[in-house]
Amino acid sequence: MDTAFPLRFYSSASDASQTAAPSRRNRLESAGLWLRRHRRHIALMQWGVVVFYGALVVLPALLPLPSGDARLWNNLRLFAQFVFWGLWWPGVMLATIGLGRVWCGLFCPEGFLSELASRHGRGKTAPVWLKWHYWPFIAFVTTTIYGQLISVYQYAEAALLILGGSTLVAVLVGFLYGHDKRVWCRYLCPASGVFAVLAKIAPLHYKVDRAAWDNAGAEQPFNCPPLVDVRRMSSASDCHACARCAGQRDAVRLASRSPFVEILRLDIPARATDAYTLIFGVMGIATAAFQWTISPWFLNMKMTLATWLVEHEHYTLLDADAPPWWLLTHYPQVNDAFSWLDGALVLTYLLGGGVLLGALLLIAPHLAARLMRHPRLDWKRFALTLTPMGAASVILGLTMTTATQLRGEHLLLNGLPYLRVTLLGAGGIASLWLAFALIRQAGNVNRLRRIGAWCAMILPVALMTGLWGLAFFVW
């Protein structure tokens, strides 16, 4: 793949000849340079996000539960719930898919505060155990399951506990480790692994010309908060798209690309952490978390066990008054309280069902890799071809909350089924095309093996399509 740049980069805002001829620069490149020059404006915007975010996290939790006639426009708790879970997080995921990790680099309050704390903190070196690659995956699974146990989408107290607690830990990690760096974002953030996967198919990225970098003159110092080796950067997964390296050594620029190029380029490593996050996190446990409340399988399991407990006079697990709200959902004033049985079943359904679904999804990439017998087409590479399907799945799941909240305001959503089918179809087709394009690169492999590998990759797409079809049109 050609990595040469047809345009020269400009890293100095003071050079009049550079600023006087914008036609010489690509518009995207110019946008990246503009962002680098206006760091102060971005910092002011980030403070605004922090204030807005803090107000929506803290204030609603101090208010009483909304009455039956409360609406989004006259109740802060409902308004904050809609902003966070109906607009904010779906928007963040869509922005990551379309623009890369701009949320992380330009808006995220946790990352901004963590970096600020590290600037004035103790500046210790991050210990080896903290750099373990699987912490973001474990943190994502843990917060996803815990959020469902305490109904984070429905109650401001739960949102304050999870989001506020995460922010406090991010600030503490920043205060302890790193100097002007985002150690929290790089190694611990629960959403980091998901963002890393979704950014792989973003059509925008910061492109590095390695040859231009090596041939440049004196080093131009700059700070990369997420600790990326920019010189060797070939993936958008770890880049926070903050633009601080734009124009660096005349070798870095904001550029467009095919959304499939990163997965298809065999010189870009396919990491096991990304594959597991996609298969077991985004497509496995997250899907179970989105669907358990409407699943007849969950309801039947609960009714069967509850009936058995009553028949045998075991009532402890059916007690809904014992668990505190920070352990299991407990809001009896609105007739919403989990018993110990509810909590155990939610935990079992999400963890057990999510792992089972992930294991079923993982069979196809392993089978495809075995059939291809190509040294560079391993199971991780085939698993990443499911990224568009995973992106569609997480958007579908998050917007279920959006649709529920809008229906509560008596808004008609007649076109929603068509949008869901379109999104699901686009994700499935894109994943199948990626698998086909990947297999096509191994032209020396037997045709029957290639056909078999592609047919194997149809299975996870069909499984996810079937599950979402059940959720939207059967259950």
Q: pLDDT tens-digit profile of 259-313?
A: 999 999 999 999 999 999 999 999 999 999 999 999 999 999 999 999 999 999 8
Determine how many CB atoms are found less than 10 A away from the CB of residue 53: 22
Distance CA 456, CA 229 (A): 36
Determine the Cα–Cα distance for residues 5 and 235; give it in Å rounded to an integer: 17
Question: Cα–Cα distance between 200 and 111 in angstroms, integer?
Answer: 20
Handedness of CA 452, 456, 457, 458 (dihedral sign): positive
Spatial neighbors of 379 by CB under 8 A, at least 6 apart, are 275, 362, 365, 366, 368, 369
Could you tell me the residue ranges of all domains in the chain?
A: 277-315+324-473
Among residues 231, 230, 198, which one has the least CA distance to residue 214? 231
Helices (H) and strands (E) in the chain, counts: 23, 4
Joined tokens for residue 44: 């002011």
For the stretch 217-232, pLDDT in tens is: 767 788 999 999 999 9
Residues for the chain: how many in total? 475
Which pLDDT band holds residue 317 (cuts at 50, 70, 90)? Answer: very high
The pTM score is 0.91
CA dihedral 209, 210, 214, 218 (to 10 degrees): 50
d(CA 433, CA 95): 23
pLDDT (tens digit per residue) in 97-152: 999 999 999 999 999 999 999 999 998 999 999 999 999 999 999 999 999 999 99
Among the residues of 312-446, which ranges form H helices?
Answer: 340-347, 353-372, 379-384, 387-408, 416-440
Tokens of 453: 């590998």
Split at pLDDT 50, 70, 90, the class of 21 is: very low
Please answer whether residues 111 and 186 qualify as being in contact, where contact means their C-beta atoms are separated by less than 8 angstroms.
no
Query: Which residue type, as a one-letter code, is found at position 209?
Result: D
Q: What are the structure tokens assigned to 277, written together?
A: 């996050």
b or e along 370-396 (b: 16 or more beta carbons within 10 Å of the residue's beta carbon)?
ebbebeebbbbbbbbbbbbbbbbbbbb
By the 10 Å C-beta count (0-12 exposed, 13-18 middle, 19+ buried), 213 is classed as middle
Render pLDDT for 139-148 as a digit per residue (tens, 0 to 9). Answer: 999 999 999 9
CB 368 within 8 A of CB 457: yes
pLDDT in tens, 357-384: 999 999 999 999 999 998 889 999 999 9
What SS3 state is found at 124? strand
